[in-house]
Structure formats: C-alpha cells, structure tokens
Structure 1
C-alpha cells in the first residue's frame, strides 16, 4: 500500500466520507493514520462528531485492534508561517506579517504557492520520522479537492514554475513532487453509478495519467442493493397486467373482481418495476464504463439510515473486506 492515499471525486459522491473510512480501515491492527483536510470545510470533524479541527494533529478515533486516527485541517496561512519560520527564521516578524494581511495576500495572488503549502504539509507528514527512525505515521490519507481540480492541485511543480525557478520555494515544490509522483502515493477517485460522476471520473483519470500522477483505485459509493437481477427484470417486462392482478388476488391482496384492490395495485407496481429496470440498466452501463478504465474497483453500500460514526466504521470494515486496506 502507498503511504500517501489521496482521495478525490466529484462533489456529492461522498469523497470525504470515503477518505475518513479509508483512514479508519488503514489504522486497524495497531497502525497510525493521519487524515488530512485541505479545503477548510471541517467535513472530517462533522463525520467524527467532534469539534472543529485546529491547525494541529489531533487524535480523533481509535480503530479496531488499537490503531489510531489523527486528523489535521491544513490552514494555508499558518502553513506559510511555518514555511517562513523553517527557511527564514522570521519568528515574530512572520506573525506581524499575518496581522498586516500579507500572508493572506500572498496565498491569494499566488494560488500555486497555496497548493505547495497544502500538499507540502501532507508530504512532510509522510516523510516525518521519530527519534528511533520509524515513520511517525504508517499512512497519510488526504481528502483532496474534487476531480475537476485535483490534477492541477497535485501537480504543484508546474504551478510553481511561474513563481520561482530557483530558491527555497522551487526546492520545496520539487521535494513535494518527488513524493506525489512516486510509488509512495496513490490517487483514488470516488464516484456514483450515475452518468455524470462516472464521466468525470474517466476524465479525471485521463488527466492524472497525462500528468504522470499515480492513479490508485475507483471507489463506487452509495450503491443501492440489487432487488431484482437482469433475468428477473426481463420476465417482469413482458408480464401481463391480468396475470399480476390474479397473482395479487391469490396472495390475498384484494378481490378478483374487476376494479378490486388487486387490479388497482397493478399500475403502481408495474410503474415501480419499470423505474427500477431503468435504473438497473443505467447502473449496469456505468459499471461497464468503469471496468473499461482498467483500475481496481470497489463498491460501498448506501447507508439508508444516514451517515454517523457507526456507519463510518461499517464502511471501514467493508473496505478491509474488499482488500483496499
């Protein structure tokens, strides 16, 4: 398994939920995982039912087997202060720049710098070791920007080329890219079995490959259970209304007379069956598109009662069963 797991996906596909479940799955059996948020939405805090995350690494969960999940919400302004202190030893002068608004100004006019700071903080956690020489974290999971922006976000070397061709910023970007384009990194894409998310996933994979960024797996989220298979649906498609009415009557669901309860149920039942058949065909077609992408594909079930902490642990267990962690 790559040590930096980047999770992206079209908005609404549940990429933050999948990233959190992946962090839990990877942390089982005594491992330590850092879950990183880069968009400032505090989605991780909401999922783990905890207070808003500060700009520091904080333990938010204990996984089965004693593993630990830490979380970090990266603030680009504070990351830039860290950067200035690391390379220029500005100390209180850096804090004064923040009060004057210079830090926010710098990250606003130079979005490439912002991406270097965000990805750089995650890559630093990947490389960090303790005094004994062991990695501080076994895995780092990044809840990355959506599919449409993730390639540009990760390809910070190109973003910084126009800012600095030499010097510490350039060197930092090069160090980040050495991690992001190595086997240490895998970029996973989350999708739904719907046409637009699947198409955006295919486009995103093509962009990542063109940028020579390591594509990992596809995770199909919120998959509804299969009530009827294709063969049964073909039988339903050709069934006569009178036959359905007789079957309902024999089951005690209304009299056999014309206009009885059984006959009134036929129309709504057949309409529901047709709707299900259409969705079944759509999902079958989208699975075929995903298969053609040539990547390992995993499916996570739709949790009909909504997402809570118990559901998050259930998804983590499912990911481990499927061998993604």
Structure 2
C-alpha cells in the first residue's frame, strides 16, 4: 500500500505547497478550497487559488468579476496576507503551451480559429489534464527575481472525487499519447510535484451516507494510485440542538410525558390533554428527525475516523456563503490547525 501522504506537523501542513481540494458534488468543495486559501494567506503569506473546471465558482464566491486567464488578487488574509486567483482557460493554456514548447506564436492562434484546440483536447483528454495540472505545478515551483517562491501555497479547486484520481494520475493518460517529447517531459515534471511531499489531496464531505462513502472510496483510490492523501474536511456541520437525554426522549415514545411537561410550562392548556398533544406533535416530529440525524452523523463520523486522516469540521452557514462567511470558515480552519 502506498504512503498515505504528509501528516500535519504543528499548526500547518509542514512542507505542503500544493493543496488539491476534491469532494462529491454538492459538498461545497469550492467553498472549502476558498476558505483554505484564505486560511493559508496569513501573516504576510501569499496563496494562489486555482479553478480548473471553468465554472467561475471562485469569482461568484468572492463577488468579483469573472476571472480572466491571469492571476489576480481577490482578497486579503489575516496579517497582510494575500489571495490571488486564476481560472484556467483550456484554450489559452494550450496556446501558451504551444508557444512555450513549439514557438508557434501566430500559427498557434490560427490553429485555435480552425478549431484545432477543441479537437486536440477532445481526442486527447490526457493533454487537457497535463495543461490544467501543469499550470498549478508551475505556480508551485515559480520563483521571483529575488529567488524566493512567488506563492507560499497553491490551492486547486479540483474535479469531484469520482474523477480526481484519474485527473491527477496523468501518467496513465499521457502514456497513450507520447513516450518522449515535450508532452511526455511536461507530464513527468507535473507528476514529480504531485507525488512529492509538497502535495496533499484533501477531500470534502458532509456527514451523510453517500458523501462519506464516496470519500472512503476516494481515499482508497488515491492510496492505490500512490497519490498523497491529505485531510478530510467535513463541511456544513450543524450545531447540536438537543442534549443526549433529549435525543433519547425524542426517540423513545415519551409523547405523553413531553406533552405534560410542555403543558406545565404554560405551552398548552391544563384543561385539555388533546389540545396539548396537538400543539406538541409537530415539535416531537422535529425532535425525532433531529434524533435520527444525530445517530446518522455519529455513524458517519465513525466511518471517517476509520480513515485515520486529519479531520476538520466547518459549520453550516445558515445565511448562505458570503465574504464574511468565508473568513469565518478560514478562522475555523486555523483554529483546528489546518493552516
């Protein structure tokens, strides 16, 4: 079995510079990636948040204009940190690649007009993944004129769990395209970064059966492929409403006792048990629903604990996700040692 990947040392993922964030659709992986980028951009550090699915989800979260194919500052972290963002446009990335390795210049743009780029990335999906991952890995390795790293950390909002292993393990795809030349060389350079201790692949889940099972399966696939598994981010965790005794009472058929207690508290009428029962029935139904959810969440936590990975919990933002919510989630991640 391959190594599980880097373990967090102290308050940070020591040595990790590329954080790949994946998760089942609907778990909020883009939100978690954004919060992680903010958390990492603290005390003067600079992070780059990369989107590879061309959805402009990052721009929507930060309430900024659609991101062009260039790195742009979108937020400030704690202590004068900075968050930059990049939405990778596959056509622009391929033109950049053709210019870099083949010096095509205007000829490359002509190929784009002729539809060559769409054709190339459709028949060779491995090439598409090389371009997308290659841009992130280049940002990880990039240094400024002073010799220092341009970015202290790069966070990639990656494809969902079901596709992320194949997306990252581009060697398999590229082997069918070329065994030498620029594409092969580029893929090897990308894989050296992705398989190194500089990278961690984090998975986002909810405390629900399907997302947790997909997370468990995703971790197994990543480990089998030899890719560095990071942490598990449990998103949208609801605060506890009932204590242990109340949960048991709600699930134990004590309707009469609870109704009498509510009547005694002045929430019903002392003259009519029937009226009291009618009043409390919806409340009892909600209590049972909550009790069932508590039991389910406990079971899901046990499954996640079985992965033996660092786990972080993020609260449900009842008012929706806005800028202040992202900063709140970032603070929660810092408090739990994720950054």
TM-score range, shorter chain: over 0.9
Give the deviation of 1:262 after TM superposition. Answer: 2.4
Q: What whole-Å deviation, never above 9, does each CA across 1:179-236 have from its counterpart, x for those lacking one?
A: 0000000000000000000000001000000010000000000011111233432244
- The counterpart of 1:136, out of the listed 145, 150, 153, is 150
Q: When the two structures are superposed, what TM-score results if normalisation uses the length of structure 1?
A: 0.98
SS in 2 for 1:124: helix
Give the number of the structure with larger relative contact order, counting CA–CA contacts within 8 Å between residues 6 or more apart. 2
2:68 counterpart of 1:54: yes
Aligned partners of 2:265, 2:246: CA distance in 1, in Å?
A: 20
**Match of 2:221?**
207
CA distance in 2, matches of 1:86, 1:173: 15
1:52: how far off? Answer: 0.3
**Residue 103 of structure 1 pairs with residue 111 of structure 2:** no
| Maintained 8 Å contact 1:42/1:73 | yes
Alpha-carbon distance between aligned partners in 1 of 2:66 and 2:103, rounded to the nearest angstrom: 29
Quote how far apart the aligned CAs of 1:239 are: 5.7
- 1: CA distance, partners of 2:39 / 2:254: 49
Aligned equivalents of 1:89 and 1:237: distance in 2?
70
Deviation at 1:243, TM superposition (A): 2.0
Q: Match of 2:98?
A: 84
Give the superposed CA RMSD.
Answer: 1.1
The residue that corresponds to 1:306 in the other structure is 320
Structure 2: unaligned runs, 5 residues or longer: 1-12
Q: CA deviation at 1:21?
A: 0.3
Whether the aligned pair in 1 keeps the contact of 2:250 and 2:287 (CA below 8 Å) is yes
Q: How far apart in 2 are the matches of 1:122 and 1:245?
A: 60
Q: Does 1:146 align with 2:160?
A: yes
Partners in 2 of 1:261 and 1:317 — Cα distance? Answer: 47
4+ runs deviating over 6 angstroms? none
2:196 matches 1:182 = yes
CA distance in 2, matches of 1:245, 1:37: 53
Query: Residue 30 of structure 1 is aligned with which of 44, 47, 67?
Result: 44
8 Å Cα contact 1:18-1:190 kept in structure 2:
yes
Say if 2:320 is the partner of 1:320: no
Contact 1:245 1:256 in 2 (8 A): no
Asked if the contact 1:254–1:260 (Cα under 8 Å) also holds between the matched residues in 2, the reply is: no
Post-superposition Cα deviations, 1:49-68, rounded to whole Å, max 9, x if no partner, equal 00000000010011121111
Partner SS state of residue 48, structure 2 = strand
SS of aligned partner of 1:303? coil
Which residue of the partner structure matches residue 128 of structure 2? 114
Unaligned runs of at least 5 residues, structure 1: none
Match status 1:242 vs 2:256: yes
* CA–CA separation in structure 1 for the residues paired with 2:223 and 2:296: 27
Measured in 1, the distance between the counterparts of 2:119 and 2:254 equals 70
Going from structure 1 to structure 2, the CA distance change for 1:313 and 1:213 (only over 3 Å counts) comes to same
Q: CA deviation at 1:151?
A: 0.2
SS of structure 1 residue aligned to 2:155: strand
Secondary structure in structure 2 of the residue aligned to 1:300: strand
Q: CA deviation at 1:263?
A: 2.7
Q: Distance in 2 between matches of 1:26 and 1:83?
A: 29
The more displaced of 97-106 and 117-126 is 97-106
Q: Give matches, 1:154-233, under 5 Å.
A: 154-233=168-247
Q: Secondary structure at the match of 2:149?
A: coil
